[in-house]
Amino acid sequence: MIAEDLFDLAPVIPVVVLDDAGAAVPMARALVEGGLPVIEVTLRTPAALEAIERIAAEVPDAVVGAGTVAGAEDAERSAAAGARFLVSPGRTPRLQAAMVATGLPFLPGVATASEAMALLEDGITAMKFFPAEASGGAAFLKALAGPLPRIRFCPTGGVTPGNAADYLALGNVGCVGGSWLTPANVVRAGDWDRIRKLASEAAALRPA
Ligand code: 3PG
């Protein structure tokens, strides 16, 4: 799998912050059943790596990745846990080298034309646009399509059910990412029907 393949699997990548690894498998099943098989578990909680391990082992239809990959060690640990892709809020040369070394597809974060061009020089054409709304939103990406036509973005950060369609309508947007699919209180309550419904509404943003 290359990073661009992620874009073909689902229009929305749920960005998940999990406090309890025990919730990982039923949450992932609900997302997959709702039509969102690509799941980003952020490395922001002590439970994250175990959550990735459990989803990788027990939910074969999910494509689980690690998010908030901010250092070389994060990339290595995520790969060892079974992550199938990596997402970073930004990009440094060391981090990029570590992500390349895992052999996994990855989406490095950019927020300016120069950052995107630096990645293009290395042959990287799939990127996260972060923080999307604070960095100019859909209008910014639309403006980049002319000068940088080869790049496809996954905007994340401030993306909501209200603006996701505006991003997905752009030719240079492969998918969007967001945390609205898995609200902390809903996950804590184990309300998987609610997660399934949120996922199916998001999956319908770009009919298969
Ligand atoms: C993040 O890094 O938390 C993601 O960008 C999700 O942002 P959101 O909570 O605004 O969807």
How far apart are alpha carbons 180 and 195 in whole angstroms?
10
> Would 37 be classed as within a structural domain?
yes
* Per-residue pLDDT reduced to its tens digit, 172-192: 999 999 999 999 999 999 999
Q: Which two tokens stand for residue 86?
A: 């990596």
Reported as a pLDDT band with limits 50, 70 and 90, residue 206 is confident
* Per-residue pLDDT reduced to its tens digit, 103-136: 999 999 999 999 999 999 999 999 999 999 999 9
Can you give the CATH number for the domain in which 52 is found?
A: 3.20.20.70
> Would 207 be classed as within a structural domain?
no
Q: Using CA positions, which residue lies closest to atom 9 of ligand 1?
A: 179
Pocket of ligand 1 (CB under 6 A): 15, 130, 156-159, 177-179
Cα atoms in the Cβ-side hemisphere of radius 13 Å centred on 60: 0
> Would 166 be classed as within a structural domain?
yes
Q: Distance, CA 114 to ligand 1 centroid (Å)?
A: 22
Rounded mean pLDDT of 197-203? 97
* Per-residue pLDDT reduced to its tens digit, 57-96: 999 999 999 999 999 999 999 999 999 999 999 999 999 9
Reported as a pLDDT band with limits 50, 70 and 90, residue 208 is low
Range of the domain at 97: 3-202
pLDDT score for 207: 65
> Would 208 be classed as within a structural domain?
no
pLDDT score for 8: 93
Ordered strands of the 12-16 beta sheet: 106-107, 86-87, 63-67, 38-42, 12-16, 176-178
> Would 43 be classed as within a structural domain?
yes
Q: Distance, CA 175 to ligand 1 centroid (Å)?
A: 14
Best residue among 179, 187, 198 to mutate for probing ligand 1's pocket (most ligand atoms within 8 Å of CB) is 179
Reported as a pLDDT band with limits 50, 70 and 90, residue 51 is very high
* Per-residue pLDDT reduced to its tens digit, 141-161: 999 999 999 999 999 999 999
Per the annotation, the verdict on 40 as an active-site residue is: yes
Q: Which two tokens stand for residue 136?
A: 């100019």
Give the chain's mean pLDDT: 97
How far apart are alpha carbons 95 and 78 in whole angstroms?
13
> Would 26 be classed as within a structural domain?
yes
> Would 147 be classed as within a structural domain?
yes
> Would 34 be classed as within a structural domain?
yes
The number of distinct structural domains making up the chain is 1
